[in-house]
Amino acid sequence: MANEAAEDSASILPILTGQKKMLPKHPMVVNHDIGGSFAIRNNHWKLVLAERPLTYGLEKDRKETTDVAADHPEVVSRMKATLEQYKAQGWPHP
């Protein structure tokens, strides 16, 4: 079964339990839905790649109600660049 695991998979349990603040191998966590749409998280930021990128500051907006991409273009740029770097390395796989 281990050979079938995604190469970019990692348990986030240590983060959820407060034992660690970030994953050791990948500083940003990538998620995707069944349709292959991607989102990437870093600390309290979340970038959702949609027709227009959506960015949420999860520290103050845990329900993801307010897109703050226009207020934080540097965050959008950095997170998009990281996701593109990850894709160029061959992962994540939708």
Domain segments of the chain as ranges? 26-94
φ, ψ (nearest 5 deg) of residue 21: -100, -20
Q: Is the pLDDT of residue 23 over 70?
A: no
Q: Which of 15, 10, 37 lies closest to 47, judged by CA?
A: 37
The pTM of this model reads: 0.66
CATH fold label, 26-94: Arylsulfatase, C-terminal domain (3.30.1120)
pLDDT at 50 over 90: no
**Is the pLDDT confidence value at 79 over 80?**
yes
pLDDT of residue 11: 74
What is the per-residue DSSP string for 23-55?
Answer: -SS-SSEEEE-TT--EEEEETTEEEE-SSS-EE
Under the banding of pLDDT at 50, 70 and 90, the label for residue 37 is: confident
